[in-house]
Amino acid sequence: MSSNYVITIAREYGSGGRTIGEMLARKLDIPYYDKNIIRMASEDSGINEELFGRVDEYTSAKPPLFGANGIYTGELLPPQSKDFTSDENLFNYQAKIIRELAKKESCVIIGRLANFILEPMEYPNVLRVYVHAAWNFRLTEAMKKMSGTPQEVERFMKKDDRRKMEYCRRFVGKEWTDPSYYDLYLDTSILGYEGCYAQIEKRYDIMRGKVILH
């Protein structure tokens, strides 16, 4: 069994999941990966980094791609293929990077369906976390980061929620918010950032065998 331990964090916009992930990486002294996975996938594939954004933004009108195993696992296509820059190939290059990171080191990975890509049977040392919050809490936090009226920010948040749900449905055929796909389902509007961090750290220590359960 690998000695690497990975924490994946899926999060609603404004819930503070990214902030909690940064806290974990800093305090546990392990690497943190977020959008830099796109840069790494771009460098690995030679595909322009901007093209990877397409996979995130335009999925709602497209059919699901997952197979019988419940996740899209098509092979990486070579540069000479006409579908080299297709959504499917872009997704698989990101999945390739995520799997390589999990095998190489302990780390925190934000988003990108990492909890689904790192399947439990193959990657037992992964702690899968979902961070959410009450709508008003999310709106207040989002307003700190975004310019615009509350109505404009709310529209963005609703669009972002739909985008993430459609992305998940398309590539893994599952519901992004389903608690059964996570080890911890945390509400920052109840627990606060520090409370969520404490819950994750405790489970992380249990997973590594630093805490013995009686």
pLDDT in tens, 189-203: 999 999 999 999 999
Q: pTM here?
A: 0.83
Q: What is the Cα–Cα distance from 71 to 64, expressed in whole angstroms?
A: 10
pLDDT of res. 1 = 47
Instruction: Report all structural domains of the chain as residue ranges with CATH numbers, in order of start.
Output: 6-204 (3.40.50.300)
Q: Cα-flanking dihedrals φ and ψ of residue 87, to 5°? A: -55, -40
With contact defined as beta carbons under 8 Å apart, do 185 and 133 qualify? no
What is the distance between the alpha carbons of residues 2 and 177, in angstroms, rounded to a whole number?
28
Give the C-alpha separation, 153 to 173, whole Å: 28
Among residues 95, 85, 65, the alpha carbon closest in space to that of 172 is found at 65
Between CA 182 and CA 10 the distance in angstroms is 9
Q: What single-letter DSSP state applies at residue 180?
A: G
pLDDT at 170: 83
Q: Which residues pair with 126 in a beta bridge?
A: 6
Asked if 174 contacts 181 with a C-beta cutoff of 8 angstroms, the reply is yes
Please say whether the beta carbons of 110 and 21 come within 8 A.
yes
Residue 142 has a pLDDT of: 94
Residue type, 2: S
Q: Check if the beta carbon of residue 98 is closer than 8 Å to that of residue 118.
A: yes
Mean pLDDT of 84-101: 81
Residue 80, pLDDT score: 56
Find, among 6, 50, 10, the residue nearest to 30 by Cα: 6
Spatial CA neighbour of 90 closest among 112, 70, 107:
112
Contacts of 74 by beta carbon, 8 Å cutoff, 6+ apart: 65, 88, 89, 92
Predicted pLDDT of residue 39: 86
Residues 39-82 have pLDDT tens digits of 888 887 777 766 766 665 555 445 545 554 455 555 655 555 55
Residues 6+ apart with CB under 8 A from 113: 10, 95, 167, 168, 171, 172
